[in-house]
Amino acid sequence: MREIVADQNLIAACGLYCGACSKYLRGRCPGCAANQNATWCSVRSCCGQRGYKSCADCTEFSNVKDCKKYNNWIARAFGLIFRSNRAACIALIREQGYPVFAADMAANQRQSLPR
């Protein structure tokens, strides 16, 4: 099993930290950026089309919750089920930057900030 390390390349387009995800740690997923099979993800597709690393780079919405691609019903359902606050992750990335966010998530062994 992989070890949780601070790597800003493991930050998903939606703000989750893939470096602490159980699928990533078990080698079952390469993480958002490297996952060529994740064409179903509208957030990942949008960021890729615009050349963004994540939604934190988007200037169209000051609050990511205002974006319909980001805040769709599937994302809201998963957020409730997994008690994940991806919007808070995006806000933290905007505030502190990618390296600090990755270091914080790795140090606390979290995939997301809790609701």
Q: What is the pLDDT of residues 59-89, one digit of tens each?
A: 999 999 999 999 988 888 878 877 899 999 9
Q: What's the token pair of residue 23?
A: 């699928």
Specify which residues 84 forms β-bridges with: 114
In this structure, is residue 2 part of a structural domain? no
Determine, yes or no, domain membership for 90: yes
Q: How far apart are CA 31 and CA 115, in angstroms?
A: 22
Q: List the domain range (segments joined by +) for residue 18.
A: 8-107
Contact present, 12 and 35 (Cβ < 8 Å): no
Quote the number of domains for the chain. Answer: 1
Task: Let me know if residue 61 belongs to a domain.
Answer: yes
Distances (CA, A) of 41 to 4, 69, 70, 97, 101: 24, 9, 10, 23, 22
pLDDT value of residue 73: 85
pLDDT at 26: 97
Low-confidence spans in the chain with pLDDT less than 70: none
Residue 54 CA to residue 90 CA, distance in Å, equals 8
Say if 59 falls within a structural domain. Answer: yes
Q: What is the pTM of this model?
A: 0.92
- Asked whether residue 114 is domain-assigned, the answer is no
Report yes or no on 15 lying in a domain: yes
Instruction: Examine residue 50 and state whether it is found in any structural domain, yes or no.
Output: yes
82 within some domain? yes
